[in-house]
C-alpha cells in the first residue's frame, strides 16, 4: 500500500476573515497593461483569472495607484482613484472569485521613484534626495530619477486620505482585502529608509518615527473598510537598491512589526524584491525576519522569494518562518502551480523572455504563442 503526503502549502488557512483554499498566493507584479487612464482591461481580467483557475487560493493585484496626484509610478499602471477604475477592477475580481480564488488590492504610492505620471510633472518624497540607480527600462523608464520635492505635513495628510479613499473603492470593486504597499523603495518605504528620509519632524529620525506614516495609512485603511482584510507589505531591499538592510537589524524590525500590528494590520507580507527568501530574510543571529514578524505580532506572515522551490517552501511553512507563500516568477511560469503540486507534476522554469523587453501581459502572451507555434 502506498500513501501520498500532500505539500503543506496545499492546506487551507484563514487570513483575517477570509478562508483560503491553500497557502499559495500570487505576488503583486506590475504589468503596466491597463488603459492610458489606469482602467483595467479585459486582457488583465483573463490574466488574473488564470491564476485562480490554476488553484491559487489568493491573488494580489499589482501595485495600484490610489490618487490622481503624485502616486502613479508607471504609465499604463492601473489605478483605484476613479469610478472607471472601480468598474474595470470589478470585472477582474469577479473572474477570480468565479474560479474559486480571493483577491486583495495592493495600494501603492510611488513617491520619488515614479517614472510615469501624467497627473504631475514632479515627484514627491519625505526629503529632497535623489533616488539611487536609474529608472527601469522594462517599465518604460530610462536615465536617472529626478530629485523629488519634499512633502509638507499637509500633503502627508492628503496621502493618508488618498489611501483610505482608494480602499473604499477597492471594496466597491469587489476586492476581499487591501494591502498597503510599504516595501520595495516606494513612498512609504522611502519614509522608513534612513538615507531617503532626512526629516527632522515627527516622521524623521528614529525608526519609530520613520514607520509612523505607514502605521497611519494602515489605520486609515482598516477603519475605512473594516469588513475587508487589511495587510501591509514590507521589505528591506528595493527595486533600486538590492543591498539595503534595516540599519538596526532585529531591533528595527521589532519596532516596525509592532507598529504596523498595533495600527491594525491583519497580516504582514515580507517581500524579497527578486532575491531568494533566505538571502533577504536571514538575520545576523541566524533567525529569519519572517519568523521574527510572526513572533512579534502573532499575525499570519506571507514569505516571498523562490517559493516555487518545493523544499524551501516546505521548510518555510513547517519551520515556523511563515504561514503563506507568495510567488512571482514561479507563478508566471506556472499559473497552475497549486494544481501541479497537488498532482505531483513537474514545474516549468521561468523564462526571462516572458517579461522582456517589457513586463506587459501582452508580451507574455506573445511569448506563449511563440512557444506553441
Residue 280 in this model has a pLDDT that exceeds 90: no
Characterize the bridge pairing of strands 18-20 and 13-15.
Answer: antiparallel
Q: Which of 5-14, 130-139, 178-187, 357-366 has the highest mean pLDDT?
A: 178-187
Query: What confidence tens digit (pLDDT) does each residue in 156-194 have?
Result: 999 999 999 999 999 999 999 999 999 999 999 999 999
CA pair distance 326, 348, nearest whole angstrom: 17
Distances (CA, A) of 128 to 155, 313, 350: 15, 40, 38
* Whether this model's pTM surpasses 0.95: yes
Residue 1 in this model has a pLDDT that exceeds 50: no
Residue of 133, 126, 132 lying closest to 148 (CA atoms): 126
Average pLDDT over residues 118-130: 96
Characterize the bridge pairing of strands 267-270 and 301-304.
Answer: parallel
What is the per-residue DSSP string for 259-285? HHHHHT-SEEEE--TTS-HHHHHB-TT
Residue 171 · residue 226 · CB < 8 Å: no
Query: What confidence tens digit (pLDDT) does each residue in 95-108 have?
Result: 999 999 999 999 99
Query: What confidence tens digit (pLDDT) does each residue in 18-61 have?
Result: 999 999 999 999 999 999 999 999 999 999 999 999 999 999 99
Average pLDDT over residues 62-76: 97
Read off the C-alpha cell for 5. Answer: 503526503
Residue 22 · residue 338 · CB < 8 Å: yes
Residue 279 in this model has a pLDDT that exceeds 70: yes
CA pair distance 134, 17, nearest whole angstrom: 41
Distances (CA, A) of 85 to 107, 124, 299, 355: 13, 23, 31, 25
Give the pLDDT score at 197: 98
Residue 298 in this model has a pLDDT that exceeds 60: yes
Q: Which residues contact 63 (CB under 8 A, 6 or more apart)?
A: 28, 30, 73, 77, 106, 107, 108, 110, 181, 186
Query: What confidence tens digit (pLDDT) does each residue in 308-351 have?
Result: 999 999 999 999 999 999 999 999 999 999 999 999 999 999 99
Residue 325 · residue 24 · CB < 8 Å: yes
Give the pLDDT score at 143: 93
- My answer on whether omega of the bond before 357 falls inside 30° of 0, hence cis, is yes
Q: Is 244 a catalytic residue?
A: no
Residue 368 in this model has a pLDDT that exceeds 90: no
Neighbours of 172 (CB within 10 A): 16
Give the pLDDT score at 2: 38
For the chain, percent of residues with pLDDT exceeding 70 = 98
Residue 373 in this model has a pLDDT that exceeds 70: no
Average pLDDT over residues 197-201: 98
Catalytic: which of 47, 48, 65, 186?
Answer: 186
Residue 40 · residue 34 · CB < 8 Å: yes
Give the pLDDT score at 3: 39
Amino acid at each position: 500500500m502506498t500513501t501520498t503526503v500532500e505539500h503543506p502549502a496545499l492546506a487551507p488557512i484563514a487570513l483575517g476573515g477570509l478562508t483560503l483554499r491553500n497557502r499559495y498566493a500570487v505576488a503583486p507584479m506590475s504589468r503596466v497593461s491597463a488603459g492610458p487612464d489606469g482602467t483595467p482591461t479585459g486582457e488583465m481580467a483573463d490574466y488574473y483569472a488564470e491564476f485562480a483557475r490554476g488553484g491559487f487560493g489568493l491573488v494580489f493585484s499589482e501595485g495600484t495607484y490610489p490618487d490622481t496626484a503624485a502616486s502613479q509610478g508607471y504609465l499604463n499602471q492601473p489605478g483605484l482613484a476613479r469610478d472607471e477604475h472601480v468598474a474595470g477592477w470589478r470585472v477582474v475580481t469577479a473572474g477570480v472569485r468565479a474560479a474559486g480564488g480571493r483577491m486583495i488590492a495592493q495600494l501603492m504610492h510611488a513617491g520619488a521613484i515614479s517614472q510615469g505620471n501624467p497627473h504631475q510633472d514632479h515627484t514627491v518624497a519625505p526629503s529632497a534626495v535623489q533616488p539611487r540607480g536609474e529608472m527601469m527600462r522594462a517599465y518604460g523608464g530610462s536615465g536617472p530619477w529626478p530629485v523629488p520635492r519634499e512633502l509638507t505635513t499637509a500633503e502627508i495628510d492628503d496621502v493618508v486620505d488618498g489611501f483610505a479613499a482608494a480602499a473604499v473603492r477597492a471594496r466597491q470593486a469587489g476586492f476581499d482585502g487591501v494591502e498597503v504597499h510599504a516595501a520595495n523603495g516606494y513612498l512609504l518605504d522611502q519614509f522608513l529608509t534612513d538615507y531617503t528620509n532626512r526629516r527632522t519632524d515627527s516622521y524623521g529620525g528614529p525608526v519609530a518615527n520613520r514607520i509612523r506614516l505607514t502605521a497611519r495609512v494602515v489605520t486609515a485603511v482598516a477603519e475605512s473598510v473594516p469588513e475587508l482584510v487589511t495587510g501591509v507589505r514590507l521589505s528591506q531591499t528595493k527595486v533600486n537598491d538590492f543591498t539595503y538592510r534595516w540599519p538596526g537589524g532585529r531591533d528595527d524590525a521589532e519596532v516596525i512589526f509592532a507598529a504596523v500590528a498595533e495600527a491594525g494590520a491583519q497580516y504582514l507580507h515580507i517581500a524579497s524584491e527578486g532575491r531568494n527568501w533566505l538571502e533577504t530574510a536571514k538575520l545576523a543571529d541566524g533567525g529569519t525576519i519572517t519568523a521574527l514578524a510572526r513572533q512579534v505580532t502573532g499575525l499570519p506572515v506571507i514569505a516571498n522569494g523562490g517559493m516555487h522551490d518545493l523544499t524551501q517552501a516546505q521548510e518555510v511553512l513547517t519551520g515556523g518562518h511563515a504561514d503563506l507563500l507568495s510567488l512571482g516568477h514561479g507563478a508566471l511560469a506556472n499559473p497552475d502551480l497549486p494544481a501541479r503540486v497537488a498532482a505531483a507534476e513537474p514545474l516549468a522554469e521561468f523564462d526571462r523572455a516572458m517579461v522582456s523587453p517589457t513586463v506587459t501581459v501582452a508580451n507574455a502572451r506573445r511569448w506563449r504563442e511563440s512557444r506553441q507555434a
